[in-house]
Amino acid sequence: MKWITRERPKIDRIACPWLIRRFIDAEAEIIFVPFEQVLQKAAELGATPFDLPDVEYTHYEDQCTFDYFIKKHQLKDAALSRIAAIVRGADTDRHDFAPQSAGLEAIFSGLAYNIKNDHELLELGMTIYDGLYSWARHLHRLKHTQAGPAEQMLLEVFHKYIKQNNSKKAPGWAKELKEMIQDQLDTNMSLSLQQVSDELEINPAYLSREFSKYFDNLSFGDYIRKLRIEKAISLMTNTDYSLTEVAYLTGFSDQSHFNRIFKKQTGQNPSLYKKSTLKSKKDTNS
């Protein structure tokens, strides 16, 4: 079967051919042509167009063409759902869909800049998506700090329980979500609302609305930020990590972002907080 799309593919237009060849038609022929020629060439070659306006295989609302392929061909695979969130976030500049989206966009933007031959780019992209699929299927719960020996084990800092109303028992999804959050806390806490919604198979709007009832009366984002700062304080108090390392280990993209959120949560700049903590330790030991 022949599939045709716009030239100069980057994210979605490489992800879709990968999905076609790996899960729909291993012998599929992928054709790239200038945008204005896609429909004409599709008719001439008997090819199915994808990822352009007014065709069946395209974007729908906040979902990209990759999502539609999965839905159309009824591909029931949790790993593909994880990849779909990453592709969607990268292709639509919604990096809140998945923390890996920004990296995927950066990789393919750089490759597209370096490689001008569309089919050469596609072949390399096939390898990259093969790797991403292996991660999504087998390794998505394993963080890189767990992949080999580390000089120090991170302190276990999460000992809190879901806040429950006396008159209302927490639902099963809240308990399962608590376990998912706990699993993330010893690494970089790269957990998004979309990820947990996919994992729990719960509508993200419903989860966002109900979350605060069972998690300290905080929104999902505020709750995760609170835990990240609590972990940062623990690391600053009990380890010799630099503030840059603490920021990285608690999932912040850069030092300035860490400083801003830390001050918002505690009222203090992290460097001043660390100095006062060290001074208190010295005074206690003297």
Same domain, 178 and 266: yes
In a domain, 164, yes or no: no
Same domain, 6 and 134: yes
Q: Phi, psi (5° rounding) for residue 49?
A: -80, 150
Domain that holds residue 17: 2-139
Mapping DSSP to helix (H, G, I), strand (E, B) and coil, where does residue 283 land? helix
Mapping DSSP to helix (H, G, I), strand (E, B) and coil, where does residue 63 land? strand
11-67 pLDDT tens trace: 999 999 999 999 999 999 999 999 999 999 999 999 999 999 999 999 998 899 999
DSSP summary character for residue 144: G
| Domain boundary residue, one of 90, 115, 139 | 139
In a domain, 56, yes or no: yes
Token digits of residue 74: 């009824």
Same domain, 134 and 176: no
Same domain, 8 and 96: yes
The CATH number assigned to the domain holding 252 equals 1.10.10.60
Same domain, 105 and 195: no
DSSP summary character for residue 60: B
Cβ contacts of 223 within 8 Å, gap of 6 or more: 211, 215, 216
The tally of domains found in the chain comes to 2
Q: Phi, psi (5° rounding) for residue 64?
A: -100, 180
Q: What percent of the chain has pLDDT over 70?
A: 81
- Comparing 286 with 231, the larger pLDDT belongs to 231
Same domain, 194 and 129: no
Same domain, 130 and 258: no
pLDDT score recorded for residue 52:
94
32 beta partners: 5
For the chain, helix, strand, coil in percent to 5 are 60, 5, 35
150-194 pLDDT tens trace: 323 333 333 333 334 444 566 777 766 666 665 554 444 556 777
| Domain boundary residue, one of 114, 139, 164 | 139
Angstrom distance (rounded) from CA 164 to CA 212? 10
Region 85-96 average pLDDT: 90
Same domain, 128 and 193: no
Mapping DSSP to helix (H, G, I), strand (E, B) and coil, where does residue 134 land? helix
pLDDT score recorded for residue 163:
38
Query: For residue 8, which amino acid is it?
Result: R
Same domain, 73 and 184: no
Same domain, 34 and 133: yes
In a domain, 145, yes or no: no
Same domain, 188 and 117: no
Region 222-230 average pLDDT: 86
57 beta partners: 50
pLDDT score recorded for residue 82:
93
| Domain boundary residue, one of 139, 157, 183 | 139
In a domain, 14, yes or no: yes
pLDDT score recorded for residue 159:
36
pLDDT score recorded for residue 249:
78
Same domain, 132 and 6: yes
In a domain, 177, yes or no: yes
In a domain, 119, yes or no: yes
